[in-house]
Chains A and B, each alone.
Chain A
Amino acid sequence: MTTTTTATRDSSGIRLFSWFLAKRLVQAAVVIAIVSVIVFLLLQALPGGPARGILGQQATDAQIAAFNHEQGFDLPLIQQYFNYVGQWLQGNLGRSFVMNTDVSSLIIQRLPKTLILALAAVGGALLVSIPLGMAQALRRNKVFDYVMTGLNFIVYSTPSFFLGLLLIMFFTQLLGWLPASAPQGDTVAQILSQPREMILPVLTSGLAGVATFSRYMRSSTIDNLHEDYVRTARAKGTPMNKVISRHVLRNSLTPVVTMLGYYLPVMFGGALVVEQLFNYPGMGLLFWNAAQTTDFPVLLGCVLVISVATVIGSLLADITQFILDPRARGGVK
């Protein structure tokens, strides 16, 4: 009897999950398709069209016409769009006309370095902000909470390049402890072999993360402290610190874990600024250099890759939330 009910519930759970997954995957595909249209339209919006963008300002009209014909830019827009998508699907993002290299190989070379910086920053930020947010929630509206909330607000309102500058002034100029320039090198191994150079870039992007994550952790802990299960556990005589370490911590982490998926665009945006400030050879610096030289294939290739990563990130976040938080399943039906 009991087994049948469990079995039915399980299979309906799986059906619910498959339905949710299918719906979300279709949505993600539609969103990526719209992103590709936006990137295509940006390419069309270049002054003089993509030919001028790729051949440069010195190209003659005849060269441009020849190039347009050769590349199929004189075809109807719809057909051009599908040609592009075909290329993108094969991993061909075009050629940088400044560096004369495949955009995809440039990105493959730079992206891991940005991910290392981001992972170190996000990981460090989580290690600090999870206990910090919980401590604030447990001392809600006490002096400690006010001071930390105020500090978080200030860090959150500080442009990261100002934050980085302050760190350089303090740790490099005043104390002389840390170098102000990031690790250099072509390979990931070279980057990793210069940990001292890594500290300031990681600290700069990590601090901004602490400000965001600890706010989330604080409010989700506060919400959970008011849940019935806390009262029940307390009424049954469980000591408060056990309730917190066993139940509240786990449940409060759900929104933070979910948020990590949505944090990708913030992370890439932050990388853009931090890499420029410290001259760290990641994807952000690649993008920035391309903006200086109006290297549009690189700019648009980066935008495409980052956007697809963002869509996948939020897809994973939604799936994680669906699995971890039963309440999120209500909205599916």
Chain B
Amino acid sequence: MSTATLSRTAPPKSPAARAAHEFFSNKLAVIGVVIVVALMVFSFIGPLLYQTEQVSTNLMQADLKPGEDGHPLGTDGLGYDVLGRLMIAGRTSILVGLAAGVLATILGTLWGSVAGYLGGWVDATMMRIVDAGIAIPGIFLLLVISAIVRPSEWMMVLIIGAVSWLVPARLTRAEALSLKSRDYVLAIKATGGSNSRAILRHIIPNTIGTVVVNATFQVADAILLIAYVSFLGMGLQPPATDWGAMLTDGISSVYSGAWWLIFPAGIAIVLIVSAFNFIGDGLRDMFDVRGQS
């Protein structure tokens, strides 16, 4: 397929242009980017254009059907405008998901590259800690921690980051293990360069493909995890909300036929999580990273 493309069009010049070409030839990845951008515009710019009351409840306006009284998607049981609520909930889901995904990636990359580069018993100790962390399913740990401290948004970022850095640590460690015997890394050692220089300037930049691809999947997983935590009743304190919490609130109205309390939030989660997974898949083809799912 790629040979056919190349014979028709002139090969792009720089590696970056070639990579971009590879990425944008993956239709699903492009759809993913469009969905993420659209949902970000909706959640971050939307509230500026469509202003609604999302802090105080208004029971006079509760349970309105879509279109009633100037509410395009109706209102919920507390009188919040559903469309406006969808925007501020999206802001939380996207921000917390991105921040937790990035935090997990940074932590995991540092941990994994140090372990893989130093090797020996340091590596063995560091990786057994990772194994132990992986053995405790993240959602259980999250609930235990949430039972101790009721999380704020930033607390949520920290907790999700703290349970999600293990997989990137494993992946980076495997890369670092193979990179450390390359000539250019050995040359640093031979010329007396420090370990931190070798790790920060040479090991980590060369794992960037693996890291970026995994970071995308991490964000997708983090957004799902927030939804699960909210569903399990350990999410943010109202009036703060996220798409998972909105969907959970909607569950009780499943028999009243109030579809607008269920589908918008549910579809938003599926859209954003699929979109990040599509982008991750496209980036994987672009960086030609194998062995990640």
Contact = CB atoms under 8 A, between A and B. Distances in A.
- Do the two chains belong together in a single complex? yes
Residue from A158, A173, A216, A288 with most neighbouring chain B CB atoms (10 Å): A158
B44 interface: no
Interface stretch (A75-83, A188-196, A266-274): A266-274
Residue from B139, B220, B227, B262 with most neighbouring chain A CB atoms (10 Å): B139
Given A38-B132, A46-B148, A162-B269, A302 B140 contact: yes
Residue from A161, A216, A276, A294 with most neighbouring chain B CB atoms (10 Å): A161
Interface residues of B, number: 42
A7 interface: no
A159 B244 contact: yes
Interface in B87-138: 128-129, 131-138
Interface stretch (A57-65, A96-104, A112-120, A149-157): A149-157
Contacts of B293: 215-216
B254 interface: yes
A287 interface: yes
Interface in B241-264: 244, 247-248, 251, 254-255, 262
Given A157-B273, A162-B269, A303 B227 contact: no
A11 interface: no
A311 B135 CA distance: 6
A159 B231 contact: yes
Given A159-B227, A162-B270, A291 B146 contact: yes
B251 to A, nearest CB: 6
A299 interface: yes
A296 interface: yes
Interface stretch (A27-35, A224-232, A233-241, A244-252): A27-35
Residue from B138, B220, B232, B247 with most neighbouring chain A CB atoms (10 Å): B232
Contact of A265 (B137, B248, B251): B137
Contacts of B139: 269, 272-273
A30 to B, nearest CB: 5
A173 B144 contact: no
B164 interface: no
A273 B232 contact: yes
Interface in B134-177: 134-141, 143-144, 146-148
B266 interface: yes
A307 B136 contact: yes
A14 interface: no
Contacts of A215: 293
Contacts of B234: 291
B24 interface: no
B292 to A, nearest CB: 11
Nearest to A308: B135
A42 interface: yes
A268 B266 CA distance: 23
A326 interface: no
A310 interface: yes
Given A157-B220, A291-B232, A299 B269 contact: no
B228 interface: yes
A202 interface: no
Given A153-B277, A299-B144, A292 B233 contact: yes
Given A291-B234, A299-B143, A306-B137, A47 B148 contact: yes
B152 to A, nearest CB: 16
B52 interface: no
Interface in A283-333: 287-288, 291-292, 294, 296, 299-300, 302-303, 306-308, 310-311, 314
9 contacts: A30-B128, A159-B227, A161-B231, A265-B135, A273-B228, A276-B232, A277-B251, A291-B143, A307-B137
Interface of A: 27, 30-32, 34-35, 38, 42, 45-47, 150, 153-154, 156-159, 161-162, 165-166, 168-169, 173, 215-216, 265-266, 268-269, 272-273, 276-277, 287-288, 291-292, 294, 296, 299-300, 302-303, 306-308, 310-311, 314
Going nearest first, the 6 A-B pairs with the smallest beta carbon separation are A34-B132, A157-B273, A265-B137, A157-B274, A307-B135, A310-B135
Given A299-B143, A311-B135, 7 more contacts: A156-B277, A157-B224, A159-B269, A269-B138, A272-B139, A303-B140, A310-B134
